[in-house]
Structure 1
Amino acid sequence: MDKLKKYRDQWWNQGNFHPMAEWEKVKLPYILAENVTIDKYEERTDRFNVRGCWEWDAKFEKNGVVLGEVAVYELPLQAHEVCAGEISSLIFEQCLPANRTDAKIYILAATRTRVRGFGKEADGSFRPEKSSVDLPNGSDGLNAPWPNLVVEVASSESTRHVKEKARNYWLYNNRVRDVIIVKLYDAAENQIPSRMKFDTHDANGDPLSYQEGTHVIRIPLDCLYHDVKPPIEIPRSVLPDPIILDFFFVRKAILKSFSYKCE
C-alpha cells in the first residue's frame, strides 16, 4: 500500500495521474492531501489543470489560517470527459446565434468556485453577462456572479455525493438557478461502455427506446438568462426556447469515442 500511495501522491505533488497508482481500485472519496489551504488547492488545480476531480473542504483553523483536506471524488476517465464536452457543445451550438450580442451565453466550463469552507468546480457551467453580487457571496468568494446553469457528470463519483453537492453547494442560497446531473455507468478506461442507461420508463415501468428526441432535457431561456438586467434582454426571437439537450447525441459521442476498440 505504501508503494501505491507513493504513486497516488504524484497526482497532488506533480500532476501525474500515474498508471501504476491503480486508481481504478480506489474507493472514493480518497484523501489526496491534508492540512492544505484553499489557496494551495487552487494553485495546484491551476498548475496541473485538474478540474472537477478534486474538492477542498475546510477542517480546522490554525493561527487564523483555515486548513482543509483535498479529496478525490472523480477520475478523469474518457467517458466522463466526452460526456461533459458533448453536453457543453450541444448547449453552445444552440446559443450560437446570440454569440455576438449583449445576450451571449458564456461557457464557464470548470471555472473554480469557492465559499468559506469549500472549493469546487463543475463539469460545465453557463451564464450571460451579469452584475456583481454582494461581498463575500460571489462564486470567487468575493463578488463574481454565479453561473445560472451547472452540469455535473458523475462517473467514478457516487450519485449520493453529486446530489448532495448540487443541493448543499450549487443550489444553496440560490447561488445557481439549475443543476443537471448525469450519472454514467461502465465507464472504466479500459473497456467500452456496454450499458448507457437514461432513467426514463413508460407507465408500465418498461424502458423506453433510445432514439433521437426520446431522451431530452429542456432548458428554458428563463433559466439560462435568470436575473439578467437591462439593457440585456432574453433573445427569444433569436434562440430556441427551450434549449434542447438530447442525450441521444451524448450517448452517441461517448460510444463513438471508444470505436477504436472495436477495430
Structure 2
Amino acid sequence: MQQPNSSYVSVCSSTPDSSTPGSLSRASSPHSRSADEEAFLECIEAIKANLGDVNVIKKASDKEKKWWIDGNYKAIDEERLPLRLMENVTYREYEKKSEIANAGRFWEFDDGVVIIYELPNRDHEVAHTAFSRQFLSAFTNLQFQDDVTGAGATTCLGSGRRSARQADTSFVPNRLPIPSPHPSDAQGNPWPTVVCEVARSQSLPHILQKTNSFWLAPNRSEDVIVLKLWPWNRRKDTNGRPLRRLTCYKFCRRASLQAGQAQGRFQPVQTYEFGTIDRHRRPYNGCSAQGMLTVTIAPECVYEGCTPPYPPYPLAGNQENVAVTAVTSNAKSQGIAFLFVELVEKYSKFGLKPCEMKESQEWRYASGGQATKRLALYRDFIPELIDFEPFLNSYSICEKHYSQIISTNYFYQQLLDDSLINYNKRC
C-alpha cells in the first residue's frame, strides 16, 4: 500500500512532535517542558481521574427540563453542567426526544438516565464543521467505492441499547459492508472509523472517558480526534487577538494496542496546543501559521474493516469524472440512482413533513433550519433523474441541500434550506 505523503487533517503549531508518551521524561521539570508536553501530562491525569457515580450529578430543575419537554434549553446555565435531565427513560423515549430537540450531540443516554454535558454554541459548531471540511477534502478525487462518507452526528448504540452517543461528526468508508458484523444501530450500519468530538462545556475527564469507554471499545471506532475549547474570559492581547486555550488530542486504537496500553486507558498519540495561551495561561504562538503542525490519520485506520488494498493518497490529477461514472454504473446495476454526496455541515434539525410528489415517490421536508448536506446532482450522468427535470430546473443545482441515498422507489429529502420551502408548499 502506498503511504500518504500528506496528512488527511492539518492544524497549526510550531511545537515539535513531542506529544507521544515515549517522548516525555518523568524527571523533566515543568519549566523545561513544552506546552504540548504539559497538555499531554494534563490529559494523562484526566484519564486517571475517577469521575464518580452518575447519581451524584445534579438533577435538572423543572425549568431546566424544558429542553426535554419542548426543546428549549435557554433556561440552562452552562455553569451547572453536567445535569441529570431525566431518569427511568427507555431508549425509544430518548431517541424520539433527542431527535425532536436535535440534542443527541449534547445529551448522553446510560441505563435509563439522560445527562446533559454540553450546550449548543457557535464555537462548538464551527470547530467540528471546519474539521469535517478539512478531513473530507482529502477524498475529493477518489472513486465512489473508495470514498468516505461524512455520517455527521449519527446515533451509535452500545450493547443492548443501554447506552447511546452521537459524535459531533464522524466518517464511514463506503467499502464497509451493510449489514455490518458489528453494527452501530438497529439498521446494521457500521461504526464510524473516524470520530471527531468537540468539548466546550464538558470537562476534559468526561470527554476522555467517553472516548475510551464508548468510541474506542472493541469493534467500534479506530481514531478519535478530541478538540477541547477551554473557557474564554473574553481577554485579548494588545493587538486584539483573543487569549484562549485550544487543545487537540488524537487517539488511535491501533497504535495504543501496539504500544501495549490497556483497553479503556488509551493515551493520545498526539497532543497539541493550537490556541494563543497554554495550560498555565502563558502566551503561546505555536499556532501562528498554517501547516506548522499536522495531525495524521493513516489510511489503515480510515479503512479499518475494509478489504485491502486501500486507495493511495493523495491521488494525482482530477478523477471527478471517473467517480461520477462509477456512481452511474453502480446505480444501473442495482436499480438505484445514487447521487454524489458532499457533506458540508450539520447545525440543526426540525420535525419532518412528508410531501407527496409523484406516484411511488415521496420527499421528506423539514420545516426550517440550515443545510445539513449538499448534493451535486449529476443529472447528465444518471438517467434516472430525468423524471425530476421540472424540479431540477426550478433551482440552481449547486444550491440544493438533501439528505443521503436516493432510490428509484422512495426519495427522502431532509430539506433544511429555507429558500426551497416554497417547493414544499406547491406539492
Contact 1:56 1:71 in 2 (8 A): yes
Q: Report the Cα distance in structure 2 between the residues aligned to 1:83 and 1:146, rounded to whole angstroms.
A: 22
Taking structure 1 as reference, are residues 176 and 14 closer, same or farther at Cα in structure 2, changes over 3 Å only?
Answer: same
Q: Report the Cα distance in structure 2 between the residues aligned to 1:162 and 1:239, rounded to whole angstroms.
A: 35
Match of 1:155 in 2: 200
Contact 2:196 2:226 in 1 (8 A): yes
Contact 2:157 2:165 in 1 (8 A): yes
Taking structure 1 as reference, are residues 191 and 71 closer, same or farther at Cα in structure 2, changes over 3 Å only?
Answer: farther
Contact 1:55 1:120 in 2 (8 A): yes
- Superposition misfits of 4+ residues, deviation over 4 angstroms: 190-193, 205-208, 237-240
How far residue 141 of structure 1 moved from its aligned partner, in angstroms, is 4.7
Q: Report the Cα distance in structure 2 between the residues aligned to 1:174 and 1:44, rounded to whole angstroms.
A: 28
Q: Which has the larger radius of gyration?
A: 2
Among candidates 296, 308, 311, match of residue 235 of structure 1? 311
Q: Report the Cα distance in structure 2 between the residues aligned to 1:161 and 1:8, rounded to whole angstroms.
A: 21
How far residue 78 of structure 1 moved from its aligned partner, in angstroms, is 1.2
Sequence identity, in percent? 31
Match of 2:12 in 1: none
Q: Report the Cα distance in structure 2 between the residues aligned to 1:92 and 1:239, rounded to whole angstroms.
A: 14
Query: Residue 197 of structure 2: SS of its match in structure 1?
Result: strand
Taking structure 1 as reference, are residues 239 and 171 closer, same or farther at Cα in structure 2, changes over 3 Å only?
Answer: farther
How far residue 173 of structure 1 moved from its aligned partner, in angstroms, is 1.0
Q: Report the Cα distance in structure 1 between the residues aligned to 2:193 and 2:82, rounded to whole angstroms.
A: 27
Among candidates 84, 95, 99, match of residue 46 of structure 1? 99
Among candidates 82, 98, 118, match of residue 74 of structure 1? 118
The question of 1:24 aligning with 2:78 is answered yes
Q: Report the Cα distance in structure 2 between the residues aligned to 1:110 and 1:142, rounded to whole angstroms.
A: 16
Among candidates 240, 246, 251, match of residue 197 of structure 1? 246
How far residue 179 of structure 1 moved from its aligned partner, in angstroms, is 0.8
Deviations 1:139-162 (A, max 9, x none): 005632111101111110111111
Query: Residue 45 of structure 1: SS of its match in structure 2?
Result: helix
What value does the CA root-mean-square deviation take over the aligned residues?
2.6
Match of 1:5 in 2: 61
Among candidates 190, 213, 222, match of residue 291 of structure 2? 213
Match of 1:107 in 2: 150
TM-score normalised by L of structure 1: 0.74
Taking structure 1 as reference, are residues 32 and 224 closer, same or farther at Cα in structure 2, changes over 3 Å only?
Answer: same
Taking structure 1 as reference, are residues 191 and 93 closer, same or farther at Cα in structure 2, changes over 3 Å only?
Answer: farther
Q: Report the Cα distance in structure 2 between the residues aligned to 1:42 and 1:96, rounded to whole angstroms.
A: 33
The question of 1:168 aligning with 2:252 is answered no
Taking structure 1 as reference, are residues 237 and 169 closer, same or farther at Cα in structure 2, changes over 3 Å only?
Answer: closer
Among candidates 218, 228, 239, match of residue 183 of structure 1? 228
Q: Report the Cα distance in structure 2 between the residues aligned to 1:38 and 1:74, rounded to whole angstroms.
A: 20
How far residue 237 of structure 1 moved from its aligned partner, in angstroms, is 5.2
Among candidates 96, 101, 107, match of residue 140 of structure 2? 96
Q: Unaligned stretches of 5+ in structure 2?
A: 1-59, 237-241, 248-270, 274-279, 317-427
Contact 1:155 1:187 in 2 (8 A): no
Query: Residue 16 of structure 1: SS of its match in structure 2?
Result: coil
Q: Report the Cα distance in structure 2 between the residues aligned to 1:9 and 1:237, rounded to whole angstroms.
A: 48
Q: Report the Cα distance in structure 1 between the residues aligned to 2:214 and 2:314, rounded to whole angstroms.
A: 33
Match of 1:253 in 2: none
Moved more, 4-13 or 217-226: 4-13
How far residue 127 of structure 1 moved from its aligned partner, in angstroms, is 1.4
Query: Residue 76 of structure 1: SS of its match in structure 2?
Result: coil
Q: Report the Cα distance in structure 2 between the residues aligned to 1:237 and 1:148, rounded to whole angstroms.
A: 17
Q: Unaligned stretches of 5+ in structure 1?
A: 59-67, 241-263
Q: Report the Cα distance in structure 2 between the residues aligned to 1:6 and 1:36, rounded to whole angstroms.
A: 16
Q: Report the Cα distance in structure 1 between the residues aligned to 2:315 and 2:72, rounded to whole angstroms.
A: 42
Deviations 1:69-94 (A, max 9, x none): 11001111111111011101111122
How far residue 172 of structure 1 moved from its aligned partner, in angstroms, is 0.6
Q: Report the Cα distance in structure 2 between the residues aligned to 1:183 and 1:239, rounded to whole angstroms.
A: 32
How far residue 34 of structure 1 moved from its aligned partner, in angstroms, is 1.1
Query: Residue 127 of structure 1: SS of its match in structure 2?
Result: strand
How far residue 37 of structure 1 moved from its aligned partner, in angstroms, is 0.6
Q: Report the Cα distance in structure 1 between the residues aligned to 2:243 and 2:68, rounded to whole angstroms.
A: 32
Query: Residue 7 of structure 1: SS of its match in structure 2?
Result: coil
Taking structure 1 as reference, are residues 141 and 160 closer, same or farther at Cα in structure 2, changes over 3 Å only?
Answer: farther
Q: Report the Cα distance in structure 2 between the residues aligned to 1:7 and 1:95, rounded to whole angstroms.
A: 45
Taking structure 1 as reference, are residues 208 and 174 closer, same or farther at Cα in structure 2, changes over 3 Å only?
Answer: farther
Q: Report the Cα distance in structure 2 between the residues aligned to 1:237 and 1:166, rounded to whole angstroms.
A: 27
Alignment size in residue pairs: 216
Contact 1:36 1:70 in 2 (8 A): yes
Q: Report the Cα distance in structure 2 between the residues aligned to 1:106 and 1:228, rounded to whole angstroms.
A: 14
Contact 2:232 2:244 in 1 (8 A): no
Query: Residue 85 of structure 1: SS of its match in structure 2?
Result: helix
